[in-house]
Structure 1
Amino acid sequence: MNKRLFLFLVVLMSLSLIGIIAVQSYFINDSYQNQDKQFELNVKRSLSFVANTIESKEFIYFSRKLKDYKEKTGVEADSTAFTNLFLEVQNEENDEVIQYSNVISEESYKVPSTFFDIGRDSIRISDLSNKRTKKVFKVNPLDGQKVTSSEKTFIEYSDLTELRKSVFETTFRDMFKDYPIYKRISAKTVERLLEQRLLQDGIELEFEFAIYDNDLATKVQSKNFEKQVNTNYGIPIFRDNNNRSDYNLLINFPERREFLFSTILGMLILSILFTSIIILAYSSALYQLIKQRQISQIKTDFINNMTHEFKTPIATINLALDAIKNPKIMGDEDKMRRYLKMIKDENKRMHAQVENVLRISKLDKNELNISKERIKLHDLIDVSVSHVQLIIDDRNGYVKTHLGAIKSSILANDTHFTNVLVNILDNAIKYSNDAPKIDIYTENVGNNIILKIADQGNGMSKQVQKRVFEKFYREHTGNVHNVKGHGLGLAYVKRIVDDHQGHISVESEKGKGSVFTLKLPLIS
């Protein structure tokens, strides 16, 4: 995958993820707003019901009080007006005609001010009564005349019809328009009615309420009510005949926001959960893509390095074989031995590289059989140093050992752990431009032995230190192949050390050398 396509896919997936998060946020916010509107609608419906209930209760109370007053005092009406309503129904089966008639009488009563206690001498109130009459006539089939059947005539009276209520209520509203609110309704009554109605509408929240006269608070309110612009819900109460009122019933809910959030909490949690999973999966996929791209680049470098390293010994072997074929060389025994030794050495070198690759492959598949036995680490150090001593001497360098550990017995595999030490020493030699200078230290710390291999070579940057034990990783040096290798040596070292329940780390500074530290458990 080329770099432009990779970047395009990353940008496309990132935009898609941002879009998903934005859509989720929009729908959650929209759901919250809808719940807020529904909550407001339910509250206002409850307030409207309570306001109407309060007005109706007050009207019924004073209506009954007025009725009782009229019955007790026998107050007479000043004037009377009548309105007649007539309905006739014919029954063809028995030749009967039924007439229904309503007579509505309006009467005006004058009652003293002490009855309502509103600061006037007397109050004139209009009242209505309803007289309902039903008459049944027999129809003569010859001349069609109607004959009254008196035994089927009766009269009904109704004291509280809707029409009577309307007339009285009109008078009542005008009369009580300026009456003090705290004398008309108590705070406890308002609280009880609100509590009952809110529960019926599914709102189980603590609330505070108050009745305001325009912008002034009245005595009818709860203890902790605070008037706030954005959280108060209100509705007019005790309206006059023009449907206007100076009074407003206000209510607020201190825990309204928490209640609204609780209604969308399930959706919010699921949304966050699934969005987090998507983000985690996307991050993991992106990480894997970047890692695979890096591995692909490392493998490409590995193949290039392996090709370069095999190319030289193959060329050397070919030249040696061509030289052996020369008749002059075939007669010179010393040169023959020399060329045969070159072929053997180069062949051994290629074989060692292939073995290194195979060892790592077997380690990855857990197929490498590593048998362990009791070995002294100091003995392994001496053997490892002897493997590289000739190369060190050839480059006028040195390897000094400072074996300060009193105990050095560990459980290890002789061959593999020797390879570990040789690999580290080989790296110290390869990455030293001048004569290699290597110091080896050991010491006991608790039940462990600490091994430090310090060189004064090229060193490495912090970035390289973090990845130096990764498989196939090599520090980039452009197209210069002055240092042979394929990025498997230190990966092999770490795997073997880990298999021995040990720990390896590196400290380095560019241009000042490196220190590899191994920590291994001792055995008694």
Structure 2
Amino acid sequence: MRKKIFLVLIILMSLSLGGIIFVQSYYISNSVKNEEDQFKFNVKKALRFVTNKIEKEEYKDHILKLRRLIDKGELVNIDTTSISNLYIKQYDESTNETLVYRNGILEENYKLSSSLFDIGLDSTSIKRIINENETKVYKSNNIDGKENVEVIQFGDISRTADLVYETHYNNTAYRRPIHKRVSVEQINKLLKLRLMQDDIDIDYEFAIYSNGLATKIQTENFELQGLETIGIPIFYNEKDTNNYKLLINFPEQQKFIFSTLIGMILLSVVFTLIIILTYGGAIFQLVKQRQISEIKTDFINNMTHEFKTPIATINLALDSIRNPKIINDQEKVLRYLTMIREENKRMHAQVENVLRISKLEKNELNISKDRVQLHDLIEDAISHIELIVEDRGGFIETDLKAIKSSVLANETHFTNVLVNVLDNAVKYSPEAPKIHVETENVGNNIIVKIKDHGSGMSKVAQKRVFEKFYREHTGNIHNVKGHGLGLAYVKRIVEDHEGHISVESEKEKGSTFIIKLPLIS
């Protein structure tokens, strides 16, 4: 995959993921806001119900008190005046009847003791208006009511008292202190009943404030909470300067609102996390596959180089042997045959490395383990590369301090492990290789340290040096050959022996490979 296409795909996928997260966040935010608005609407509806109920009950009690006073005659300074009398006469020819209607409106003024209504005055004045009417029907045109007059219907007296009571209520009720007009228990009972109808069953605190100041009507823990406090007017009167407001707040309001959305929010978060993890996994796999593609390309190039040289050497040796001048020279023929054999072994070793790694990954490599002396395996591994080291003018020093070296291991594979690490030390030594091998016992383990004074490696390379196909760029060193399988094979074999391998390195100061294996008694 081309780099530009790869970047475009990542950008598009990232934008899509960002868009999905934004839409989810916006949807959840809107849902929370709608729930808050609905909650406030239901609370205000409950408050309106409570205030209306309380005001109606107070008005009803006021009327009952007035009626009792009037009915009992507990009045003083009565002044009754007839305001007007209205007469209407109408003659009906078809029935030969005359209808006479009279309406009289009377106004009665009273003075009552104000102490009955707790308004702070000695007395108060009220008016009662009485509407008295009667209807008479005469059988002739004689309306003086002598011979031919017959009373057909007489209308009852009706009292138009509503206006009187309402006027007196409006003029006097607002003078009473708020704590004498309503109680905390009364508000609480009505509030609880109405809120339960809207499934609001959380704790609340309420109070009545007058012009922003607290009154005696409030619950124990009420506190103003700015926008969280909901309120509406109560006992509103145009003449009233108190401007009472019934306020309420809910300490667990946010918790209650989120509890109604928790299922949706959790599902949204879970699915969003799944999308993010899936996206991250997809990006990781794309990057990894791209890296593997690049590494495999390098691997093929390295393998081609590794095979090309021995094949060319074998071809040259064969061509030389076929030369009539050489074929009769037994010494030269043996020399060329030895070269062919060595190059063939070299190619075979490369193929074996690849096959071993493949079988290890598929768990098909059968590794039988026996009791062996690790020091013996170290000596054997050193003998495999000793000539190469000496040919380059280097040396291998050993300091086998471990008293116990018995381990459970596969002799062949673990020897290959040591050879690979030693060979790696030789490869990455630009000058004459100087290699130190030492062992020591730590608890029930044996530690093997293989140290070189070569080019070393970076911190990034130390983390990836045991990965399959990984090879650090060597700058100006072009004679380092290989395909990045040796140390991957080493790590798999060591771990299969219940051991551990690590590396400590510093650029231009060399590397130290540390192998730890459990001892057996």
Name the TM-score class by shorter chain: 0.7 to 0.9
Q: 1:258 offset after TM fit, Å?
A: 2.3
- Show the counterpart of 1:437: 434
- Show the counterpart of 2:294: 297
The aligned runs of 1:19-168 (5 Å cut-off) are: 19-73=19-73, 78=80, 108=108, 110-112=110-112, 113-120=114-121, 122-125=123-126, 165=162, 168=165
Separation in structure 2 between the aligned mates of residue 195 and residue 507 of structure 1, nearest angstrom? 72
Q: Which residue of 321, 330, 333 maps to 1:333? A: 330
Q: 1:449 offset after TM fit, Å?
A: 0.8
Are the structure 2 counterparts of residues 57 and 107 from structure 1 closer, same or farther at C-alpha, using a change threshold of 3 Å? farther
8 Å CA contact 1:329, 1:336 repeated in 2: yes
8 Å CA contact 2:446, 2:517 repeated in 1: yes
Q: 1:188 offset after TM fit, Å?
A: 2.9
Q: Secondary structure at the match of 1:473?
A: coil
Instruction: Tell me the alpha carbon deviations over residues 299-341 of structure 1, each in whole angstroms, 9 at most, x when there is no partner.
Output: 1111111111111111111111221221111121111111111
Aligned positions, number? 490
The aligned runs of 1:55-454 (5 Å cut-off) are: 55-73=55-73, 78=80, 108=108, 110-112=110-112, 113-120=114-121, 122-125=123-126, 165=162, 168-240=165-237, 246-454=243-451
Are the structure 2 counterparts of residues 258 and 82 from structure 1 closer, same or farther at C-alpha, using a change threshold of 3 Å? farther
Amino acid at match of 1:482: N
Amino acid at match of 1:261: F
Q: 1:489 offset after TM fit, Å?
A: 0.5
- Of residues 121-130 and 290-299 in structure 1, the stretch that sits farther from structure 2 once superposed is 121-130
8 Å CA contact 1:451, 1:518 repeated in 2: yes
Q: Secondary structure at the match of 1:176?
A: helix
Q: 1:478 offset after TM fit, Å?
A: 6.5
TM-score (norm 2): 0.86
Are the structure 2 counterparts of residues 82 and 420 from structure 1 closer, same or farther at C-alpha, using a change threshold of 3 Å? farther
8 Å CA contact 1:504, 1:519 repeated in 2: yes
Are the structure 2 counterparts of residues 173 and 362 from structure 1 closer, same or farther at C-alpha, using a change threshold of 3 Å? same
Q: 1:164 offset after TM fit, Å?
A: 5.0
Are the structure 2 counterparts of residues 251 and 127 from structure 1 closer, same or farther at C-alpha, using a change threshold of 3 Å? farther
Separation in structure 2 between the aligned mates of residue 444 and residue 302 of structure 1, nearest angstrom? 38
Q: Is 2:479 the partner of 1:482?
A: yes
- Of residues 374-383 and 231-240 in structure 1, the stretch that sits farther from structure 2 once superposed is 231-240
TM-score (norm 1): 0.86
8 Å CA contact 2:80, 2:106 repeated in 1: no
Question: What RMSD over aligned residues (CA atoms) do the two structures have, in Å?
Answer: 3.1
Amino acid at match of 2:59: F
Q: 1:167 offset after TM fit, Å?
A: 5.1
Q: 1:130 offset after TM fit, Å?
A: 10
Separation in structure 1 between the aligned mates of residue 472 and residue 104 of structure 2, nearest angstrom? 110
Q: Secondary structure at the match of 1:177?
A: helix
8 Å CA contact 1:237, 1:245 repeated in 2: no
- Show the counterpart of 2:15: 15
Amino acid at match of 2:38: Q
Separation in structure 1 between the aligned mates of residue 413 and residue 446 of structure 2, nearest angstrom? 18
Identity %: 60
Q: 1:202 offset after TM fit, Å?
A: 2.2
- Show the counterpart of 1:100: none
- Show the counterpart of 1:467: 464
Are the structure 2 counterparts of residues 456 and 171 from structure 1 closer, same or farther at C-alpha, using a change threshold of 3 Å? same
Amino acid at match of 1:298: I
Q: Secondary structure at the match of 2:174?
A: coil
Are the structure 2 counterparts of residues 121 and 437 from structure 1 closer, same or farther at C-alpha, using a change threshold of 3 Å? closer
8 Å CA contact 1:404, 1:442 repeated in 2: yes
Amino acid at match of 1:53: K
Q: 1:513 offset after TM fit, Å?
A: 1.1
Q: 1:83 offset after TM fit, Å?
A: 13
- Show the counterpart of 2:509: 512
Separation in structure 2 between the aligned mates of residue 270 and residue 156 of structure 1, nearest angstrom? 73
Q: 1:261 offset after TM fit, Å?
A: 2.4
Are the structure 2 counterparts of residues 491 and 117 from structure 1 closer, same or farther at C-alpha, using a change threshold of 3 Å? closer
Are the structure 2 counterparts of residues 129 and 382 from structure 1 closer, same or farther at C-alpha, using a change threshold of 3 Å? farther
Q: Secondary structure at the match of 1:454?
A: strand
Amino acid at match of 2:3: K
Separation in structure 1 between the aligned mates of residue 256 and residue 317 of structure 2, nearest angstrom? 90
Are the structure 2 counterparts of residues 333 and 50 from structure 1 closer, same or farther at C-alpha, using a change threshold of 3 Å? same
Separation in structure 1 between the aligned mates of residue 84 and residue 132 of structure 2, nearest angstrom? 10
Q: 1:154 offset after TM fit, Å?
A: 11
Gaps of 5+ in 1: 85-102, 134-147
Q: Secondary structure at the match of 1:264?
A: helix
Q: 1:127 offset after TM fit, Å?
A: 5.6
Are the structure 2 counterparts of residues 433 and 120 from structure 1 closer, same or farther at C-alpha, using a change threshold of 3 Å? closer
Amino acid at match of 1:247: Y
Q: 1:466 offset after TM fit, Å?
A: 0.6
Q: 1:218 offset after TM fit, Å?
A: 2.2
Separation in structure 1 between the aligned mates of residue 162 and residue 155 of structure 2, nearest angstrom? 21
- Show the counterpart of 2:147: none
Separation in structure 2 between the aligned mates of residue 313 and residue 171 of structure 1, nearest angstrom? 121
Q: 1:50 offset after TM fit, Å?
A: 0.8
Q: Secondary structure at the match of 2:206?
A: strand
Separation in structure 1 between the aligned mates of residue 431 and residue 229 of structure 2, nearest angstrom? 84
